[in-house]
Structure 1
Amino acid sequence: MEIKKVFNNNVVLTQNREGQEMVVMGRGLAFQKKAGETIEADNIEKTFVLDNRGVSDKIGELLREVPEEYLTIADRIITMAKARLGAGLDDYAYVALMDHISFAVTRHKQGMVLRNALIWEIKKYYKEEFSIGLQGLDVIEEETGIRMEEDEAASIALHLVNSRVSGEGLDAAVQIVKVVNDTLNIVKYHYKIEIDESSINYERFLTHLRFFALRLVQQEKADTPPGDDFMFTQVQRRYTAAFSCSEKVASYVEKTFNWTVSNDEKVYLTLHIHRVTSRQKLNSRG
């Protein structure tokens, strides 16, 4: 296996038979070796296959400052996330998690514990990612001997959310949480109710809101073709309370993010709002 780049004595960049870049690790794997030379497969202890060619260089840069154990930690967390989330994670997650966790552990050793201001929202709206974050704390403890606070699980969860936002940046993940939280508050105040967060309708609404917020963050436009407003008119007439609420959401989005909510978006918002609130009102009467 030919070396493309040496990151340090234990980590090199190479590629497999399919031409995919691989970061491979092994004790003393690259000792006194350079690009163009070969390494023995028997000496490889861990392999990281990357789809994004630019990521390997960033990993290499980090490995000049950060111990290899943080690449192992990142890989274990990402492997868990891929298995549980059933969705692709951007390769840059390796870099983001390596960098973040190494810095977090350093801060922890210095007695600096930073609180995650979004921990409540992350626990609530990204339960699966937060659960993986908690498992990530176990991984960190196994690899470093340090037990981090739950706030760190929330930070790991945010990085996973960000990775699924296709490289929009961590600010985008934070913004998505804000949009979801603010929209739910608008619904609660409009109807003067507490939503049953254990209901399937709430989960459906939450899923829709996440994608709605993602489109907002990415500034995607969903223009409705001229004359294709039959459903919009029907929903507006049939679900007046829910439609009024969706208009409040649209107004909030336009004022806060300068993003125009299309009629299609209002239709789906109205239907989800009606579904989650009508069931809630029936239950409260009983």
Structure 2
Amino acid sequence: MLNNNVIITLTDKNEEMVVMGRGIAFQRKVGEKIEIEKIEKTFVPESGESIETISTLFKKIEPEIIEISVNIIKYAHDILKTKLSNNIYLTLTDHLNYAIQRTQEGIEMKNPLTWEIKKFYKKEYGIGLKALESIKTKLGIIMNEDEAASIALHIVNAEQDGQELGTTIKMTEIVQDILTIVRLQFGTVFDEDSFNYTRFITHLQYFVRRMLEYVEASPSDDFLFDQVKIKYPKAFECTNRINDYLVSKYQTTLSTDEQVYLTIHIQRVTSEQKTK
């Protein structure tokens, strides 16, 4: 037993797993059966994790913080309607514990990507704000909005099959750099509520993720490439600038197909501004 709300038990296959639930271990002794109806979440450690790591983490964290973390994750599931990596129960709980300790000591950490996170991951940032509200209500601790952005990054990681936090940060930076290139070339201010802008951001996020994971490009369509190059010369020129940036900073070259898709998205999102 780790605390009243978290215990370690065995699966049907005799594997150790973590079981969570409000008061699930209250007045229980080692070896006693648990009440199934009290189980809210179970998970088996993923590769690279050990039950000892989980045990050490949850033993040193106050039950109230674990409860806040579990509730935030449940809220994230309800809002995002997507599967989250089990790692989030460890990474987010550990982060919240450390962030709360820092705040109590008067140490505030600035997140340099707060502005980008608010733009690119609006739902996740909203979950971060909900977390701050919960911490204030339950613990009386007021945290700055940069912490909402940091919480959002952990949620984004969990959506991306538990990828490294550094990868998510790098993805966010590259997307922002590409948007800056487009904005400067066309001298435009994006309508961040438009469908074309949202679709453009989504495309960039998936493209950058593929790039960082070194996913091989699909066969190219040279005819479509030539057509787009002729029809949208300014957007194509912007794509070339993006390619130069990626080559210079990440030693990565856009595939022919990616140049086509990127040019079309740039044309749509910039034409929309001109129309307005």
TM-score by length of 2: 0.89
- C-alpha distance in structure 1 between counterparts of 2:40 and 2:2, whole Å: 14
- C-alpha distance in structure 2 between counterparts of 1:153 and 1:18, whole Å: 39
Give % identity: 37
- Determine helix, strand or coil for the equivalent of 2:2: strand
- C-alpha distance in structure 1 between counterparts of 2:82 and 2:129, whole Å: 19
CA shift, 1:86, in A, is: 2.1
In 1, are the aligned partners of 2:72 and 2:127 still within 8 Å (CA)?
yes
- C-alpha distance in structure 1 between counterparts of 2:266 and 2:138, whole Å: 45
Counterpart for residue 114 of structure 2: 119
- Determine helix, strand or coil for the equivalent of 1:202: helix
- C-alpha distance in structure 1 between counterparts of 2:147 and 2:269, whole Å: 32
CA shift, 1:222, in A, is: 1.2
Counterpart for residue 158 of structure 1: 153
In 1, are the aligned partners of 2:7 and 2:20 still within 8 Å (CA)?
yes
- C-alpha distance in structure 2 between counterparts of 1:27 and 1:84, whole Å: 26
CA shift, 1:187, in A, is: 0.3
In 2, are the aligned partners of 1:16 and 1:22 still within 8 Å (CA)?
no
The structure-2 alpha-carbon separation of the partners of 1:251 and 1:30, relative to structure 1 and needing over 3 Å to count, comes to: farther
RMSD over equivalenced CA pairs, Å = 2.4
TM-score by length of 1: 0.86
Counterpart for residue 248 of structure 1: 241
The structure-2 alpha-carbon separation of the partners of 1:274 and 1:18, relative to structure 1 and needing over 3 Å to count, comes to: farther
Counterpart for residue 239 of structure 1: 232
Counterpart for residue 23 of structure 1: 19
In 1, are the aligned partners of 2:3 and 2:63 still within 8 Å (CA)?
no
Amino acid in the other structure paired with 1:24? M
Whether 2:63 is the aligned partner of 1:68: answer yes
2:175 to 180, 183, 186: 180
- C-alpha distance in structure 1 between counterparts of 2:134 and 2:13, whole Å: 31
Deviations along 1:25-67, whole A, 9 cap, x unmatched?
536547552xxx232317x755322265455724322112212
Deviations along 1:62-110, whole A, 9 cap, x unmatched?
1122123222222111111122112221111111111111000001111
The structure-2 alpha-carbon separation of the partners of 1:113 and 1:101, relative to structure 1 and needing over 3 Å to count, comes to: same
Deviations along 1:261-282, whole A, 9 cap, x unmatched?
2111111111100000112122
Query: May I ask how many residue pairs the two structures share in their alignment?
Result: 272
Once the two structures are superposed, the pairs formed by residues 103-252 of structure 1 within 5 Å of their partners are 103-224=98-219, 228-252=221-245
CA shift, 1:10, in A, is: 5.5
- C-alpha distance in structure 2 between counterparts of 1:145 and 1:56, whole Å: 33
Amino acid in the other structure paired with 1:177? T
- C-alpha distance in structure 1 between counterparts of 2:110 and 2:182, whole Å: 28
CA shift, 1:236, in A, is: 1.5
Once the two structures are superposed, the pairs formed by residues 53-64 of structure 1 within 5 Å of their partners are 53-54=46-47, 57=51, 58-64=53-59
Whether 2:35 is the aligned partner of 1:41: answer yes
Q: Which has the higher contact order (CA 8 A, sep 6+)?
A: 2
- Determine helix, strand or coil for the equivalent of 1:7: coil
In 2, are the aligned partners of 1:14 and 1:23 still within 8 Å (CA)?
yes
Counterpart for residue 272 of structure 2: 279
Structure 1 residue ranges without an equivalent (≥5): 1-5
Amino acid in the other structure paired with 1:245? C
Q: Which moved more, 1:49-58 or 1:154-163?
A: 49-58
- C-alpha distance in structure 1 between counterparts of 2:163 and 2:98, whole Å: 22
- C-alpha distance in structure 1 between counterparts of 2:29 and 2:79, whole Å: 40
Structure 2 residue ranges without an equivalent (≥5): none
The structure-2 alpha-carbon separation of the partners of 1:9 and 1:160, relative to structure 1 and needing over 3 Å to count, comes to: closer
In 2, are the aligned partners of 1:243 and 1:270 still within 8 Å (CA)?
yes
Q: Which moved more, 1:264-273 or 1:216-225?
A: 216-225
In 2, are the aligned partners of 1:50 and 1:91 still within 8 Å (CA)?
yes
- C-alpha distance in structure 2 between counterparts of 1:76 and 1:145, whole Å: 17
Deviations along 1:201-222, whole A, 9 cap, x unmatched?
1111111111112112222221
CA shift, 1:22, in A, is: 4.3
